[in-house]
Amino acid sequence: MTEFSDDFCAFNSWKGIAYLPHYKKINEWRLGERLAPPPPIEISLDLFAGCNLSCDFCNFGKYLEKDMGNKKMPDEHLMNLIEFLGNWEDEGDKVRGICFGGGGESTLHPKMSDALELSYNLGMQNAIATNGINITDDLLHVIPQTCKWIGFSIDASTSETYMRGKHGDYFNKVIENIKKLKREIERTKSKCTIAFKFLIFDFNQHEIYNACKIAKELGVNFYYVRPASFSHQGIKEKIINPYNVDLIEKQYKECHKLATKEFKVVTSVHKFNADFTPRRNFSQCWASSICLQINPNFGLYLCPDTRNLEFFKLGKHYPDVTEIKRIWGSRKHYDLVFKTGCKNCNWRCTYTRFNEQMERLVINDDDPMDLAFV
């Protein structure tokens, strides 16, 4: 089944081969040859533990339902945190990028624009995962200047389907916000790319192709579609796989026919079996240290997929952001990566391909790709 209309795209996890020097240093940590892994390549940073939607299928619904106290990360602490991340360096390895969003709607934080500008000025790249409702005039101005990409989670091609899954009448507003941002990107000649994202469920699986047509008409750069993982900790009730696989595959093929050099289609399948249940071809969380999850409730977590689970909590970043260096490479961190982490989760892993790459190319050290030869 075709997955990428262009192999050289941001969603192709084979880019992890470029992380091989990073993987090797993580393995040196495993072997006791260094005290900690290098700083993470990416920071997944959630600024606001709340949302203006109440999606039935939110990956982080339970996380948002908890009594979080103050839902937003304090303004001054946020800036101190980004300053620390921008200056975190070890033997030439630095944090390369920050993805704002994920567990909550980060655009609801009043200092979002300031955070983007500071991160950019410190030499890091920015990305945003958003529902696209709260794209203010300020963000319209700042995003093209400071971001590498922005992904709009839409998951529908009609207002009715959008309302059914997300319980908010914002479909047309989000479409209009994409148009505004597209115009601003073109006006400023920015290289920021836009992705229209579609997470497949039973209620929307018939709209995959129609959503792709809308995405192309909007002039976005990517249409990204993948199945949901019904074993994920955010799903409120156990759901038996509801997918009509033939219907989905047929639409996937039609979507790829719409692809052009400017409009890339990604129908993610490599993390799933033929029936779209999650696939796990690795034995540990080997590569999880390429990213660090940071939450507005001051928690540090092993990875974005575990951002609300106490078992995977590494520690806290408040009030002293430099605590991150002490926690990074701690005994708990080590055990979660190399011993207990993978055994205690059963949902789709964001780092499936990266874990496979590290296990095959570094841990097993069998060089199946003959990397010494062109």
Strand blocks (E) in the chain: 42-45, 89-90, 93-94, 97-101, 125-130, 147-153, 193-200, 222-227, 264-267, 291-294, 299-301, 313-316
DSSP summary character for residue 277: -
Q: Is the pTM of this model over 0.85?
A: yes
pLDDT at position 89, please? 97
DSSP SS3 for 113: helix
Considering the chain, what percentage of its residues have pLDDT values greater than 70? 94
Which sequence spans correspond to the domains of the chain?
13-363
Cβ burial 312-344 (10 Å sphere, 16+ → b, else e): bbbbebbeebebbeebbbeeebbebbbeebbee
CA-to-CA dists, residue 363 to 35, 76, 110, 355, angstroms: 18, 41, 44, 10
Burial group, residue 20, by CB count within 10 angstroms (0-12, 13-18, 19+): middle
DSSP string, 200-238: E-TTTGGGHHHHHHHHHHHT-SEEEEEE--TTSTT-SS-
**In the structure encoding, which two tokens stand for residue 346, read together?**
């059963």
Summarize pLDDT for 307-332 with one digit per residue, the tens.
888 999 999 999 999 999 999 999 99
Mean pLDDT on 224-245: 77
- Encode pLDDT of 163-204 as tens digits: 999 999 999 999 999 999 999 999 999 999 999 999 999 999
pLDDT on residue 278: 77
Domain boundaries 13-363, corresponding CATH code: 3.20.20.70
Query: Closest Cα to residue 296, out of 288, 307, 312?
Result: 307
Look at residue 365 in the predicted model and tell me its pLDDT: 81
* Cα separation of the two ends of the chain: 27
> How many helices, marked H, and strands, marked E, lie in the chain?
12, 12
Rounded average pLDDT over 248-269: 96
Q: Which two tokens stand for residue 252?
A: 């996937």
**Token pair recorded at residue 312:** 């995977």
Residue 60 pLDDT > 80, yes or no? no
State the burial class of residue 373 (Cβ atoms within 10 Å of its Cβ: 0-12, 13-18, 19+): exposed
pLDDT level of residue 68 (50, 70, 90 thresholds): very low
Closest CA to 4 of 182, 212, 255, 210: 255
